[in-house]
Structure 1
Amino acid sequence: MQSPSRRAFLSGHRVERSPWEAFMTRLRRAIQGKVYDFSTPEGSARLLPGHMQDVYRARALCHEYGITLALDGLPSANPRDDLPVLWVEPGSAMARCERLGDGDPRWFVQPGCLVAELETAGLPQFKDQPPHLTVAAWLADRRGCDWGRGQTADSGLVHALVLLSDGTQANLGAFGVDNHKPLDNLRVQEMIPKLFELNASLTDQTASSEALWDGRYRLDALSPVEGQTINLSHLLLGHGGELGWVEWLVFDERVGRPGSRPYETRYGQRQAASDTCAIDDAVRALFDPDGLFPSRGQDFNHHYGSDI
């Protein structure tokens, strides 16, 4: 029996491809890494990039075709089941982990580096964290990145380069009177004042004395406790894979301690305050107005039956 495509070829008729099939064809032509199609009705595939250029190309195609770009390996990952999704796994091709220089306490880390390697290197914030996670998955996991309110500096994270939904690369790091490097980027110039406004409105609405942070995004990084300074990279801590794709990170081994990991329980017990949800949505809209990344990258509801 002849296949439909062969019959179409012999008869001169062109078979219409679905948007997903067209997307997969162009993705395979554009990348040097590996891509696996799961052949689901909605469309689902996994990309193992050969280098960062593969992620750039995948982002552009996902944006064009309306495909969700989701971080693979994130605990309790939950992109919408009714939408096509490309899972991107930061593998060994982007797993460098090295000091910035001889004797330098700062470490350059790519997203595919495993937590086990960072713990072995002696970075205290990775002690007793799941060793199999990539640092990208650890950074996105709200449970692992659960420090007290205003204490995000305990993460030891000092800088991050993140790819946003429109292809912009945002340098996020220390921010203050003497350091405005993040504002070199026009897109970030527009984002940062609005993030500070959202943080101010949230502080007015909630008890800033509460020890734990309940939001989906760490706006409290903009209101650090005494002795700690504002660092814009901390906005990515526990972001659920919802704000962008992390290209690389810098950690300081002199600071850092593991998060407390009670966020999952708090998530289930939290009241669904509409004002807080609106601020969470506003933060996401600033980072990902195109809806390229999952809107709810992590789901703890199957444990606790709550929604925020």
Structure 2
Amino acid sequence: MQSPSRRAFLVGRRAEQSPWDAFLSRLRRVAQGQVYDFSTSAGSARLVPGHMQDVYQARALCREYGITMALDGVPCASSLDDAPVLWLEPGSAMARCERLGPEDPRWFVQPGCLVGDLESAGLPQFRDQPAHLTVAAWLADRRSCDWACGQTADSGLTHALLLLADGTQANLGAFGVDNRKPLDNLRVQGMIPRLFELSANLQGAEDSYWDARYRLDALSPLAGRTVNLAHLLLGHGGELGWVEWLVFDERLGAPAERPYESRYGNRPGPGAAQRETDRAVRALFDPDGLFPAQGQDLHGVDT
């Protein structure tokens, strides 16, 4: 019988895989969906998940190999060319959109559902929005989710399940005396006091628009409206986590009145205080930097 050492001598040693190739090889073994390698020098690939389990596997592998996990399809997405990145595109396998009940005004929506389908269903906040966008990309777009300060309830968003970088699933929804569900999650429970503290540092007038990237004004809604932690995701650029599903109430939605670009055409953009607060919010959600530090290029007004 030929010994292993002699066999290795005859056929040569197998070349060691690069960390990127090893990552792709492992991802392909476990993923039910499609993996596309863009063959860039830094390493770039796209995963179209076949099941939510693919996202869980991708998160664990990205964290193990130090690879950025980015939402694909975000308008004006940053290129992220300097480091290895896995783009996740929520496709048809994650595109459910249905009422919670026959007469229920609330809609259960998965991240791959198209904005055009939601507009056709009669949800007014999606009126005149790009029909081809996934709801995940729409939610991540800071320009589309640009309601006036304290009026994030006009998004119609009532609940979100967010996958954080460490694998925690954060239930984000209404928060107040009558609804303490977010406190069921220890990770979110630890974040809430700091989020309110950061929100208090950046208060705007009720008729003004929010300059910072992350919508901390959701924690200071107009009188008569309820604090909703899900609204922190409006315009988050794919930088705080991966959205597993959303719930919208068709009775609450209203289109944002004016686009982000028109307000910032001749303005310098968020100031130092807003940028510092944005960094603090991101550090709460993603302290290890699994998701992009800048998922969306806002043309000179980035935080």
1:111-131 deviation per Cα after TM superposition (whole angstroms, max 9, x unaligned): 000001000000111111110
> Percent same amino acid among aligned pairs?
74
Q: Which amino acid is 2:225 matched to?
A: Q
| 1:287 matches 2:285 | yes
Counterpart of 1:5 in structure 2 is none
Give the superposed CA RMSD: 1.6
Q: CA deviation at 1:208?
A: 3.2
1:13-38 deviation per Cα after TM superposition (whole angstroms, max 9, x unaligned): 13111110000000001111100000
Per the normalisation by structure 2, the TM-score is 0.94
Per the normalisation by structure 1, the TM-score is 0.92
Matched residue SS, 1:281:
helix
Distance 1:42 1:178, change over 3 A: same
Counterpart of 2:246 in structure 1 is 249
Matched residue SS, 2:202:
helix
Aligned positions of 1:131-150 closer than 5 A: 131-150=131-150
Aligned positions of 1:1-308 closer than 5 A: 10-203=10-203, 207-209=204-206, 211-267=208-264, 269-301=267-299, 305=300, 307-308=302-303
Q: CA deviation at 1:81?
A: 1.4
Contact 1:70-1:79 at 8 Å conserved across structures: no
1:77-125 deviation per Cα after TM superposition (whole angstroms, max 9, x unaligned): 0153101110000000010000000100000000000001000000111
Contact 1:164-1:244 at 8 Å conserved across structures: yes
1:114-161 deviation per Cα after TM superposition (whole angstroms, max 9, x unaligned): 001000000111111110000000000011111000100000000000
Distance 1:171 1:155, change over 3 A: same
Q: CA deviation at 1:10?
A: 4.6
Matched residue SS, 1:202:
coil
Contact 1:32-1:49 at 8 Å conserved across structures: yes
Q: Which amino acid is 1:299 matched to?
A: D
Structure 1 residue runs of 5 or longer lacking an equivalent are 1-7
Contact 1:96-1:108 at 8 Å conserved across structures: yes
Matched residue SS, 2:189:
helix
Distance 1:290 1:192, change over 3 A: same
Distance 1:267 1:31, change over 3 A: farther
Task: Name whichever of 171-180 and 273-282 sits farther off.
Answer: 273-282
- Partner Cα distance (1:12, 1:40) in 2: 28
